[in-house]
Amino acid sequence: MTDAPFDPLTALRPWEAPEVTSWGRLPMHAVDRRAGAVSLDGDWRFQLLPAPDAPLGEVWSSSYVPGVWTVQGTDDLPRYLNIRMPFAEFPPEVPAANPTGVYERAVDVPAEWAERRIVLQVGAAESVLLVHVNGRPAGISKDSHLAAEFDLTPVVRPGERATVRLTVVKWSDASHIEDQDHWWHGGITRSVLLYARDALHLADVTVRARRDGDLRVDCRVRDAGGALPEGWYVSGELDGHLLTQDAEFDRTNAEDERVSDFLGEARLRAAVPDVRAWTAETPELYGLTVRLHRADGTVADTSRHRIGFRDVEIDGRDLLVNGERVFIRGVNRHDFHPLTGRTVSYHDMRADLVLLKRFGFNAIRTAHYPNDPALYDLADELGFYVVDEADIESHDHAHEIADDPRYLNAFVDRVSRMVLRDKNHPSVIIWSLGNESDYGANHDAAAGWVRRHDPTRPVQYEGAAKRGWADPGVASDIACPMYAPLEECLAHAMSGTQTKPLIQCEYSHAMGNSNGTLADHWEAIETTPGLQGGFIWEFWDHGILQRVNDGRPAGRGGAGLYDNGVAAPGHRWAYGGDFGETDHDGAFIADGVVFPDRTPKPVMFEHREIAAPVRIDCFRHEGVVLSNHQHFRGLDWLAGEWELSLADGATRTAPAELPDLRPGETAAVPLPFELPEDGGEAWLTLRVTTAGDEPWAPRGTVVCLPQVRLRAAPPVRHTPVPGRPVEVGEDGLLVHPLLTAAPTLSLWRAPTDNDELGGMAARWRDWGLHAPARKVVAVRRDPGRVAVVCDYLCTGGAVRHEQVFTAVEGGLLVEECAELPEALHDVARVGSVFETAAGLNLLEWFGQGPWESYPDREAGAPVGHHSLPVDELFTPYLRPQESGGRHGVRRFTLSAPDATGLAVRLDRPRQVSVTRHRAADLAAVTHHDELVPRAGCVVHIDAAHRGLGTASCGPDTFASYLVAAGVHRWSWTLRVL
């Protein structure tokens, strides 16, 4: 590979030189809005070389920019590893086999750009970018999630065609600090463009806009020729209101002879009266235009920004936005797309944020790197608090790198470039120094830079906060742990030693069927001073759409080949190991609150309710008490409708007049319905929707469904009918025309990811809970009544199970009792399982729903009359597992289109599931597309069902949601329709 022509950029071997963070790259600046740029997105000529110093071949293919070659038909496929690096070399070294993409295209440089400065901007490339233009070296850049700009004026001629070559080296010293938990790809992931500006220009604009209307705009002015021309000045306007140049500031600057010739600094000011402050609830934006003038008044440069007036401060252990202690209802969001891998369009980002708004989120941590500039524009516009995180994660070699002076440049470079770019966004309220990189001097250096450059925002870094929440040192103003047990957070908040706001940077790991105890967390957060929220891990299940026949990523051609969270036939959602890798971290990449196609998982409904802006506090004196749980808004943007659900009747509705409540206020409103004397259990729901169109939701979008119980269920009584026979076989199994498998005891569920990674599933397998031998001990027959006693033999001991079948008025009463020996102290479930004949395809139930819910994730599922086709009850988690459960079910019917079928009434609200899969079917496969639905239904009625917890990464469920050993009793009636 030595016969390649000499090239100074490759000769430097910058991919193994951490000290080299860039060469020829222009300084970072705030993103502004400029017209006239030429987009270079589209198909580029492309070659994938085996190493950066390998010679170019003869044959070119093509590659779409922006995009990663790993999903565009090359043999270098995506690879998923969480912590471990995909190669053994120690930092800063990389393997000799180092895929390198060479992108080339011709660009017509507009003739009217003569005399102007011509800039190439590469939105993002991973992990090292080498730029050649017309065969000449033009620059080097690292920092895979921020743009790099290069001054091409010396190497191109306006009016002529230029050849731009972008060489992207996949593995580098920088990969060691980009070891985030997601897919490894290679390519150019954000847009490429060319633009021109005058020699005299605004090099940067820094906006400080406070909630009292005080506006300060600092302008840095440069001239490409060196010395600034005499007499330049700046002007500005804010939505038509003129800003004034701060003469005091100019005077001070003019006295400094060192800078005045070549560095211009000017400050514009305004005191904006009656300012509409920006918050995530009220994302009020103003348009700012800054102009740079030559002495004769002509405009040399214009820079446009949308700004928001707001303050962020820390007061003791409270993080305040505009003086209010706001709750952070956050999520961690990666740049992900099931077809492009990493490239997300404006449309995608908007859809992500719109969905988050609709489900009650108000904050985003840009885990774990700066996002596309458009994401921050959208966060400003739709209203999100953003923790902006630098692209630093050295997870596998964290300790070595944190104090390695060779990486010092890179740390400061990455953090400072992020701050320089994003400083004008009102949405950004906190800077994060990165993720999982231990803690060392390199962090403190970066923190020092931020503190000097932007004293207006707090800094956070989990690695520093780990030293001690009360004293994280210079690198963190916030105690921002990940996956801290709730009791530890509470203990800290109540210890009297708390000094910083406690906002978890990651909590409630959303892998598979998860997020148990979210409501318990929020109850604690909302009632404990010192706790302020956190960021759920994470938004996406990063399943890449894959063709099953050839194992290739579907790429952009896969558009439309998925729906409702499910890949089309012949396709599946790939996770770690699916592209032929032998060393990988499997389904750990599928840990989001949405499926790879952005279909919300059931936890989203839980979150929406937990975040409800208006709630029903209680029912008393013929009325209910409503409260406003927002920080800044009234209820006027919401509309309401009352729903009365009676167990033994239809649902009734009535329009609701929402009271005029300021944040934190409560008011009693009279009950909208006369409660009928009969009708049993009664629930009142306030269906809250948007009263008008919001930028993120059309009028009528559901915001929350708060609920209160008005009347408890009366006890159920049964009247035996001793004359009616009960058919039970010699094997003790019920014989019933509609059942293809009689009710037996179930102690197991298809392990969830939490069950597997938390170690419970292994224990259950050891105990043999998935297939205990059933031994009939006794069958006793009386008129209209048969009692069966069985033992289920597990390694942890025998479980005695008794079933008494009694003919009662209106059907068959099944009374059950199971006694678990002490050794079986934490099983998945105790309950009955049976299977029905084919054709019963509709489930109607009175209980919680309509979406999936579990004992520790049920706060968002209101009680009511629900109905769904059986095929829609199941949630298609990427790795099949327990799914489709409904909590708090009081009774249900399973029916065929001709209304025949069966009806079940439970002794009290129970966990029920009706699916097409046995637990063993689910546990036997690795991907959803391998599941073969059964024709009949598999029905579980649980006396007790274990909570879900979050043990795949973080705390398990609470003790109160475990299934205890000892005696469990439950009963139900079965009736033929």
What residue ranges bind Mg ion (CB under 5 A)?
Answer: 181, 395, 436
Task: Give the H/E segment covering residue 205.
Answer: strand 200-209
* Distances in whole angstroms, Cα of residue 813 to Cα of each of 267, 372, 498, 892: 82, 61, 56, 15
Minimum CB separation of residue 888 from ligand GAL in Å reads 30
Minimum CB separation of residue 44 from ligand GAL in Å reads 31
Calpha distance 263→227 (Å, rounded): 8
Q: Residue 506's binding partner, choosing from Mg ion, ligand GAL, none, with beta-carbon cut-off 5 to 8 A by kind?
A: ligand GAL
DSSP 482: B
Minimum CB separation of residue 395 from Mg ion in Å reads 4
404 binds ligand GAL (CB under 6 A): no
291-294 — which CB contacts under 8 Å span 24+ positions?
291/234, 291/235, 291/236, 292/200, 292/201, 292/202, 292/219, 292/221, 292/232, 292/233, 292/234, 293/232, 293/233, 293/234, 293/235, 294/200, 294/229, 294/231, 294/232
- Give first-to-last CA distance, the chain, whole Å: 78
The residue among 591 and 606 lying less far from ligand GAL, judged by its C-beta, is: 591
Calpha distance 337→182 (Å, rounded): 12
SS3 track for 24-51: CECCCCCCCCCCCCEECCEEEEEEEECC
Residue of minimal CB distance from Mg ion? 395
The residue among 284 and 585 lying less far from Mg ion, judged by its C-beta, is: 585
The region, left, alpha or beta by phi > 0 then psi within -120 to 50, assigned to residue 139 is: left
The residue among 389 and 436 lying less far from Mg ion, judged by its C-beta, is: 436
Minimum CB separation of residue 180 from ligand GAL in Å reads 6
Please, which of residues 514-553 interact with ligand GAL by CB under 6 A?
537
391 binds ligand GAL (CB under 6 A): no
DSSP 700: T
Count of C-beta atoms within a 10 Å radius of residue 331: 28
785-794 and 797-808 as β-strands: parallel, antiparallel, unpaired?
A: antiparallel
Please, which of residues 119-138 interact with ligand GAL by CB under 6 A?
none
Calpha distance 40→66 (Å, rounded): 9
Minimum CB separation of residue 179 from Mg ion in Å reads 7
Instruction: Give the alpha-carbon dihedral of 481, 485, 487, 488, to 10 degrees.
Output: -40
Q: Residue 537's binding partner, choosing from Mg ion, ligand GAL, none, with beta-carbon cut-off 5 to 8 A by kind?
A: ligand GAL
The residue among 509 and 547 lying less far from ligand GAL, judged by its C-beta, is: 509
953 binds ligand GAL (CB under 6 A): yes
143 binds ligand GAL (CB under 6 A): no
Identify the three-state secondary structure at position 901.
strand
Instruction: Report residue 763: phi and psi, to 5°.
Output: -65, -45
Calpha distance 617→626 (Å, rounded): 6
Letters for 189-228 (x = contact with ligand GAL by CB under 6 A, - = none) are ----------------------------------------
Q: Residue 482's binding partner, choosing from ligand GAL, Mg ion, none, with beta-carbon cut-off 5 to 8 A by kind?
A: ligand GAL
Q: Which of 393, 436, 643, 882 is catalytic?
A: 436
Burial 210-224 (b: 16+ CB within 10 A, else e): bbeeebbbbbbbbbe
By CB under 6 A, the count of residues binding ligand GAL is 12
The residue among 459 and 682 lying less far from ligand GAL, judged by its C-beta, is: 459
Residue 816 annotated to the active site: no
Q: 709: which strand partners?
A: 683
Instruction: Report residue 30: phi and psi, to 5°.
Output: -65, 145
What single-letter amino acid sits at 930? E
951 binds ligand GAL (CB under 6 A): no
Whether the CB-CB separation of 803 and 774 falls below 8 Å is answered with no
Among 32, 181, 377, 380, binds ligand GAL (CB under 6 A): 181
Among 143, 149, 372, 591, binds ligand GAL (CB under 6 A): 591
Residue of minimal CB distance from ligand GAL? 181
The residue among 437 and 893 lying less far from Mg ion, judged by its C-beta, is: 437
Minimum CB separation of residue 953 from ligand GAL in Å reads 4
The number of residues making up the chain comes to 977
178 binds ligand GAL (CB under 6 A): no
82 binds ligand GAL (CB under 6 A): yes
Q: Residue 591's binding partner, choosing from ligand GAL, Mg ion, none, with beta-carbon cut-off 5 to 8 A by kind?
A: ligand GAL
372 binds ligand GAL (CB under 6 A): no
Minimum CB separation of residue 636 from ligand GAL in Å reads 39
Output the DSSP codes for 313-344. Answer: EEETTEEEETTEE--EEEEE----BTTTBT--
Whether the CB-CB separation of 596 and 540 falls below 8 Å is answered with yes
Q: Residue 953's binding partner, choosing from ligand GAL, Mg ion, none, with beta-carbon cut-off 5 to 8 A by kind?
A: ligand GAL
Q: Residue 76's binding partner, choosing from ligand GAL, Mg ion, none, with beta-carbon cut-off 5 to 8 A by kind?
A: none
Among 133, 221, 482, 661, binds ligand GAL (CB under 6 A): 482
The residue among 179 and 755 lying less far from Mg ion, judged by its C-beta, is: 179
Q: Residue 398's binding partner, choosing from ligand GAL, Mg ion, none, with beta-carbon cut-off 5 to 8 A by kind?
A: none
Residue 844 annotated to the active site: no
Minimum CB separation of residue 956 from ligand GAL in Å reads 15
Q: Residue 329's binding partner, choosing from Mg ion, ligand GAL, none, with beta-carbon cut-off 5 to 8 A by kind?
A: none
The residue among 395 and 443 lying less far from Mg ion, judged by its C-beta, is: 395
Calpha distance 272→431 (Å, rounded): 27
The residue among 481 and 743 lying less far from ligand GAL, judged by its C-beta, is: 481
Q: Which of 16, 389, 506, 643 is catalytic?
A: 506
Extract the tokens encoding 34. Answer: 């400029």
Extract the tokens encoding 626. Answer: 């409503």
* Distances in whole angstroms, Cα of residue 728 to Cα of each of 731, 830, 901: 8, 22, 20
The residue among 149 and 436 lying less far from Mg ion, judged by its C-beta, is: 436
Minimum CB separation of residue 395 from ligand GAL in Å reads 8
335 binds ligand GAL (CB under 6 A): no
318-321 and 666-670 as β-strands: parallel, antiparallel, unpaired?
A: unpaired
* Distances in whole angstroms, Cα of residue 495 to Cα of each of 353, 507, 510, 520: 37, 21, 30, 20
Letters for 423-462 (x = contact with ligand GAL by CB under 6 A, - = none) are ------------xx--------------------------
Please, which of residues 45-64 interact with ligand GAL by CB under 6 A?
none
The residue among 178 and 436 lying less far from ligand GAL, judged by its C-beta, is: 436
Q: Residue 397's binding partner, choosing from ligand GAL, Mg ion, none, with beta-carbon cut-off 5 to 8 A by kind?
A: none
387 binds ligand GAL (CB under 6 A): no
The residue among 47 and 180 lying less far from ligand GAL, judged by its C-beta, is: 180
DSSP 918: -
Calpha distance 420→415 (Å, rounded): 9
Letters for 231-250 (x = contact with ligand GAL by CB under 6 A, - = none) are --------------------
| Cis peptide, bond prior to residue 127, ω within 30 of zero | yes
Minimum CB separation of residue 128 from Mg ion in Å reads 21
Q: Residue 946's binding partner, choosing from Mg ion, ligand GAL, none, with beta-carbon cut-off 5 to 8 A by kind?
A: none
Count of C-beta atoms within a 10 Å radius of residue 871: 11
The residue among 411 and 851 lying less far from ligand GAL, judged by its C-beta, is: 411
| Chain contacts with ligand GAL (rule: CB under 6 A) | 82, 180-181, 368, 435-436, 482, 506, 509, 537, 591, 953
- Just list the catalytic residues: 436, 506
